[in-house]
Homo-oligomer: A and B are copies of this chain.
Amino acid sequence: MSRVRVHNLSVSLDGFAAGEGQELEAPFGHAGTRLVEWFLHTRAFNEMHGQAGGSSGVDDALAWTWKAGIGAEIMGRNKFGPQRGPWTDEEWKGWWGDNPPFHTPVFVLTHHPRPSLEMEGGTVFHFIDASPKEALRQAREAAGGLDVRIGGGPTTVRQFLAEDLVDHLHVAIVPIVLGRGERLWDGLEGMEQRFQIESVTTPSGTTHLTFSRP
């Protein structure tokens, strides 16, 4: 059975996975790159973006697990871009240039659907207004038996966790107090009971937790 997986989701000590004030010049809002610093340094991140180099330690090993066996991604509209409300600019094709790192169908959840976008390298963005269950049905169909990644942001991941649709969750806890933004854990009281949890702290100061369905 194909699994539903979340990877490399960076969260602050106070539980925020996105800053306040996301905009074109600040994709992570006031968080800047503080939440994802550990990830930007890895070979996995560089490879994703067609670059060489980077660290190859434990952070990197965990970051790589993002890739293998994924046949489709589901993401929220706010991860796709900084626009809110009805699209004023359908020229926007995501943060990732002509050849995004996904290389699979990507289902973008939004209350404002628009035509699909076929990019280089196999990424196709589909914009759908759908419940988590329905989005997952479509993504599974597109994934051809492979796993489905829930790509974020927190608003999207939270919905899939709340409906118990996630089989594997990798969270990276970063020792900062972000203060404001989008909380990951709200409405998920007791969710740890559904998972086997492992954790490890790496020299970057990041604590990686994996939640796997037993």
Contacts and interface: CB of A to CB of B under 8 A. Distances in A.
A141 to B, nearest CB: 31
A151 B188 CA distance: 29
Nearest to A176: B192
Chain A interface helix/strand/loop/mixed: loop
B205 A201 contact: no
Given A14-B15, A199-B205, A205-B199, A190 B186 contact: no
Among A186, A192, A200, residue most surrounded by chain B Cβ atoms (within 10 Å) = A192
Contacts of A117: none
How many copies the complex holds: the figure is 2
Interface string A178-189: 111001011111
Nearest to A183: B14
A52 interface: no
A15 B15 CA distance: 7
Among A178, A183, A189, residue most surrounded by chain B Cβ atoms (within 10 Å) = A189
A173 B173 contact: yes
Contacts of A189: 177-180
Contact of A175 (B177, B188, B209): B209
A24 interface: no
27 contacts: A13-B15, A13-B173, A13-B185, A13-B192, A14-B15, A14-B183, A14-B186, A173-B173, A175-B192, A175-B197, A175-B199, A177-B185, A177-B188, A177-B189, A177-B192, A178-B189, A179-B185, A179-B187, A179-B188, A179-B189, A179-B190, A197-B205, A198-B205, A199-B201, A200-B201, A201-B201, A201-B207
